[in-house]
Structure 1
Amino acid sequence: MALFTEQLFADHLTLPYPEAAVVGDAYFAAPVPDLPLRLRIDFAPTIYAGRYDGLRLRIVHLDQGPVDTLVLRFADHGAFDTRDRRNGYKQGQGEYGTITDWTRSEHPPWAGISVTRLRAAIDQYVRLWIPGAPPVRTGPPSGIAPAPHQRTSATRAR
């Protein structure tokens, strides 16, 4: 099963970098095109083939190679809290906070992901390493209504 990487980055994470592309299962970007630093994001593997527990971010210098690597674990950023509660997954169990590409499905393995905290962490990391990078929007992706308990007073007034 495909990880639907392009869909994750284009439709859900919606990172604001002017020069970016998905190649295979990795996202590459030049957050500030004039600087020699690039961002690469892919899925962080676990000890099990085809199971991933987060996003691995890398800063790469065009001449000097890799500069830094950070793993943003899905569990640490609440990415699958709703799914894990619904399915009864507990911390320490293999399925908790992970996705797999073992099954055949027309739906991405990360369906239902909450990206707000992941986006904020990506923004903090990129802006630390790449001065002048555009800020990442940290609210819900456009076109997705907030959950009823997250509605603002302006939304309730309608």
Structure 2
Amino acid sequence: MTLFTEQLFADHLTLPYPEAAVVGDAYYAAPVPDLPLRLRIDFAPTIRSGRYDGLRMQVVHMERGRLDTAVLSFAEYGAFEVRDRRHGRAPSHDGYGSFTDWNHSEHAPWIGIDVTRLRLAIDQYVRLWIPGAPPVRTGPPPLTAPVPQARTSQTRTR
């Protein structure tokens, strides 16, 4: 079953890296195109086949290979907090803070994910390892209101 990886990165995480692509179930990016450092993000597997409990990030040097790996746990970053609370799942329950790809559905298995804190963590990680990377927008999009026209007062003289 597909994990809808491209949908997660394009529609939810919306990372600002100029050169990026989803290949299979992994996201690859060159946050700063002139540097030989690349970012790879995929789903972090658990000991159970088809269950994922976070995002695995890797910084890869084009000539030296993998430099670092970090895992962002969905539970630690509250990604499924609302869903798990709604289903009555606590940290000690099976399936808490994770998703499976066992159900063959037309919907992404991670539906309802909250990526706010994950985006912030990705931003911190990338900017630590890849200087000059553009910042990830972590808040709501800025409101764009039309600029009011300046009013001119006209004084009438008789």
Verify same fold: TM over 0.5: yes
Query: Once superposed, which parts of structure 1, at least 4 consecutive aligned residues long, lie more than 2 Å away?
Result: none
Percentage of pairs with the same residue: 75
Determine helix, strand or coil for the equivalent of 1:132: coil
Deviation of 1:93 after TM superposition, in Å, equals 1.9
Q: Residue 100 of structure 2 corresponds to which residue in structure 1?
A: 100
- What does 1:3-82 align with in structure 2 at a 5 Å threshold? 3-82=3-82
In the alignment, the residues of structure 2 paired with residue 83 and residue 139 of structure 1 have an alpha-carbon distance, to the nearest angstrom, of: 21
Q: How many residues align?
A: 143
In the alignment, the residues of structure 2 paired with residue 93 and residue 49 of structure 1 have an alpha-carbon distance, to the nearest angstrom, of: 18
Determine helix, strand or coil for the equivalent of 1:43: strand
Q: Residue 134 of structure 2 corresponds to which residue in structure 1?
A: 134
Deviation of 1:132 after TM superposition, in Å, equals 0.1
In the alignment, the residues of structure 1 paired with residue 92 and residue 100 of structure 2 have an alpha-carbon distance, to the nearest angstrom, of: 16
When you count helix as a share of all residues, which structure comes out higher? 1
Determine helix, strand or coil for the equivalent of 1:108: coil
TM-score (normalised: structure 2): 0.88
Structure 2 gaps, min length 5: 142-158
Structure 1 gaps, min length 5: 143-158
Does 2:104 correspond to 1:114?
A: no
RMSD: 1.5
TM-score (normalised: structure 1): 0.88
